[in-house]
Amino acid sequence: MLIPKELSELPIYAVGGCVRDHLLGIEPKDVDLSSELTIDEIIDYCNSKGIKTVVTGEQYGTVTILLDKSYEHTTFRKDLNCDGRHCDVEYVNDLVTDLSRRDFTINAMAMTYSGRVIDPFGGRKDLSLGVLRCVGNSVNRFTEDLLRIIRLYRFKSKFDYIIAEETEEAAIELLPILNNNIFNTISIERVVQEFNKVFENNEYNCGSFLTSMWFICVIKTIIPEMVGFDELIQHPVYHPEGTVLDHVIIVTELADAIHKWHALLHDIGKGKTAQLNGCGYYSFHNHENVGAALIPTILKRLRFSNDLIDSILITTKFHMHPYYAQRTYGETPPTKAIRKFQAACGDYLEDVRQVCLADSSNRIRPWIMFDKLDEPVIPVLMGKHLIEAGYQPGPVFGQVLKRAHDYQLETGCSDIDQLILEGVRI
């Protein structure tokens, strides 16, 4: 039963993805409701029953009904004057008209309180066949909201369904318009949200989705720094999977939900540093530092938060350091190397560890680099100590404190007097 008993007296329907999931035997996360009732009529009914409501989309006729969980009710409507994202709304009193404006047949079904399914566009048949098909004319559906092309491939990565021929033909025909409008009509925030829905839910096949996003050029549009990644063959011993693109997709699949954007971008500097050698594959000297320098530009373009930008910059910059430590010191790096590494990673040490875990499927790294040390790695010498020792504040303070901290990292020293001596030493 999708519709709560408290609303069973209303001529109301469960609609969309919750019906699809119910028919597939999946517990729906959200239940969307629809009827010809207006916001005011729903609110009046709920008030009479002591049920709380919140208007959450007045322009679309949407009110949230607060019971054991939240239910969104939207008045039947049809869309007019669509521009690729926005549509004018006209309310109607017909369920089929409302369902006809939805994207895919498997999302265009409704269910009554008693469990009767209303399926005017063959959604149950397409569910049984494993087919993704637009409702009505595919070009019209995609033109109404170009983001539906990305949603098509997101659903493909979730259900592993085939795409109906006419639906995929329409999607491919409209790809130039999609990619030309990602940063304006569609908005990059909505595109990133589609990626996040895949990254944050293991019901999706992340690799399949990213491969599709590469195929339809969305990744190359939003992250042009990745152009050519599918042509850069890597060292066959360290990367038998093949190209940089193959590697990045695998690492993103392996990364946990929080770090999938980190993983997708961890090798972003390889495009600018690629050097073909005589053996037929590329080397990428200093790609981690070059990549880190690119991160702020890329993530501001994608409208990421400053904290996430800082985090991904650090994971990009330092994801190779445990490998370098192994190459230099073997499996037991000296304490000073660990101190320097952990101080450089700062609050993002765990983020670096998670990216390295995903990135290390083909090589062993000295994980001791991530073991917390008893010795301090944060600066213990402060400006106040220099003032107490009789030094006058000024621009030189910054240089003194840096030299003292470098010495602290090198030696593990935490003695204030010794650090002052080292800091003022010329």
357 occurs within a structural domain = yes
pLDDT above 70 covers what percent of the chain? Answer: 96
Task: Tell me the sheet residues that pair with 73.
Answer: 33, 63
Q: From residue 308, how far is each of 278, 298, 313 by CA, in Å?
A: 39, 12, 8
Distance CA 262, CA 255 (A): 9
Residue found under tokens 């549009």: 221
- What integer is the mean pLDDT of 197-203? 95
pLDDT score, position 375:
67
End residue of a domain, out of 340, 362, 378: 378
CATH assignment at residue 295:
1.10.3210
Same domain, 266 and 166: no
Domain count for the chain: 4
Residue at 258: amino acid letter? I
Same domain, 362 and 240: yes
354 occurs within a structural domain = yes
Same domain, 164 and 252: no
Let me know: does 268 contact 297? Beta carbons within 8 Å.
Answer: no
pLDDT score, position 180:
96
* Per-residue pLDDT reduced to its tens digit, 331-374: 889 888 898 899 899 999 999 999 999 998 756 677 889 988 77
Q: How confident is the model at residue 151 (pLDDT cuts 50, 70, 90)?
A: very high
Let me know: does 249 contact 210? Beta carbons within 8 Å.
Answer: yes
pLDDT score, position 376:
62
Task: Tell me the sheet residues that pair with 104.
Answer: 134
262 occurs within a structural domain = yes
Distance CA 404, CA 407 (A): 5
Same domain, 144 and 125: no
Same domain, 231 and 366: yes
Q: Across all residues in the chain, what is the average pLDDT?
A: 92
Same domain, 270 and 327: yes
Distance CA 326, CA 8 (A): 66
Q: From residue 82, how far is each of 50, 292, 371 by CA, in Å?
A: 38, 40, 55
Let me know: does 161 contact 131? Beta carbons within 8 Å.
Answer: yes
Same domain, 324 and 390: no
Residue 80 has pLDDT above 80, yes or no: no
* Per-residue pLDDT reduced to its tens digit, 265-292: 999 999 999 999 878 899 999 999 999 9
Residue 89 has pLDDT above 80, yes or no: no
Q: 142 or 411: whose pLDDT is higher?
A: 142
* Per-residue pLDDT reduced to its tens digit, 370-391: 988 776 667 777 878 778 877 7
197 occurs within a structural domain = yes
Residue 42 has pLDDT above 80, yes or no: yes
213 occurs within a structural domain = no
15 occurs within a structural domain = yes
Q: 345 or 88: whose pLDDT is higher?
A: 345
- What is the pTM assigned to this prediction? 0.88
Residue at 135: amino acid letter? V
pLDDT above 90 covers what percent of the chain? Answer: 72
3-state secondary structure of 154: helix
pLDDT score, position 136:
95
Distance CA 240, CA 1 (A): 50
* Per-residue pLDDT reduced to its tens digit, 216-243: 999 999 999 999 999 999 998 888 889 9
Residue found under tokens 């021929």: 165
Query: What are the DSSP calls for 45-98, one per residue?
Result: HHHHTT-EEEEEEGGGTEEEEESSSEEEEEE-EEEES--BS--EEEE-S-HHHH
Residue 401: Cβ within 10 Å count: 19
pLDDT score, position 308:
97
Same domain, 227 and 374: yes
Same domain, 253 and 276: yes
Cα–Cα nearest to 150, from 201, 198, 100: 198
Q: 409 or 219: whose pLDDT is higher?
A: 219
End-to-end CA distance of the chain: 78
End residue of a domain, out of 129, 149, 170: 129
CA 377 to chain centre: 32
Q: How confident is the model at residue 196 (pLDDT cuts 50, 70, 90)?
A: very high
217 occurs within a structural domain = no
CATH assignment at residue 59:
3.30.460.10
pLDDT score, position 85:
66
Range of the domain at 420: 383-424
Cα–Cα nearest to 3, from 19, 15, 18, 14: 14
Query: What are the DSSP calls for 155-190, one per residue?
Result: HHHHH-PEEPHHHHHHHHHTHHHHHHSIIIII-HHH
Same domain, 409 and 350: no
Q: 143 or 374: whose pLDDT is higher?
A: 143
* Torsion sign (Cα): 190, 192, 195, 200: negative
Q: How confident is the model at residue 312 (pLDDT cuts 50, 70, 90)?
A: very high
Distance CA 187, CA 174 (A): 17
Q: 333 or 121: whose pLDDT is higher?
A: 121
pLDDT score, position 114:
95
End residue of a domain, out of 129, 160, 195: 129
Let me know: does 102 contact 77? Beta carbons within 8 Å.
Answer: no
Same domain, 245 and 147: no
Same domain, 10 and 80: yes
346 occurs within a structural domain = yes
